[in-house]
């Protein structure tokens, strides 16, 4: 009886810790893929407005593949020159994601997070598109 009680007392936090670390690792994979895809999509577009919208859609799709909501992420783009679509300029897309603690019933402003993960990807705009 005592062994069962102690095993449960120790196993529940351990399992929750493993699930939380898995969520953080999944978030890390999600932001790396999202940043990479967003940068590739950005340089393929004809103008900056279309490129920004396409990059944000690519981030939303990549995050959804890993089970994360696009509202939990922030996307920042920067370029090395004034014209982001000019040949030879570099585009850097940075995606930040707040990974929530699993199985908590809180929503809205009281959402507790396990971690914040971030990844960047840089692509060179080619001469021929």
Beta bridge partners of 113: 100
Stated as kind and residue range, the H or E segment containing 29 is: helix 2-43
pLDDT in tens, 8-23: 888 988 998 999 999 9
Tens-place pLDDT, residues 69-115: 888 899 999 988 888 888 888 999 999 998 888 877 766 666 677 78
Mean pLDDT value across residues 119-125? 92
63, two tokens? 């995050």
Picking from 32, 38, 113, 24, the residue whose alpha carbon sits closest to that of residue 76 is 38
E strands within the chain?
73-79, 90-100, 113-124
Q: Is the pTM of this model over 0.75?
A: yes
């Amino acid at each position: 009886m005592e062994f069962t009680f102690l095993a449960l007392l120790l196993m529940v936090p351990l399992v929750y810790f493993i699930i939380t670390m898995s969520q953080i690792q999944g978030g890390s994979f999600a932001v790396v893929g999202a940043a990479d895809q967003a940068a590739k999509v950005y340089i393929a577009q004809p103008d900056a407005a279309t490129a920004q919208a396409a990059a944000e859609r690519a981030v939303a799709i990549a995050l959804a593949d890993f089970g994360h909501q696009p509202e939990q992420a922030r996307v920042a783009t920067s370029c090395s020159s004034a014209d982001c679509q000019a040949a030879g300029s570099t585009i850097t897309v940075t995606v930040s994601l707040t990974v929530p603690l699993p199985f908590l019933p809180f929503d809205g402003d009281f959402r507790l997070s396990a971690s914040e993960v971030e990844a960047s990807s840089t692509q060179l705009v080619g001469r021929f598109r």
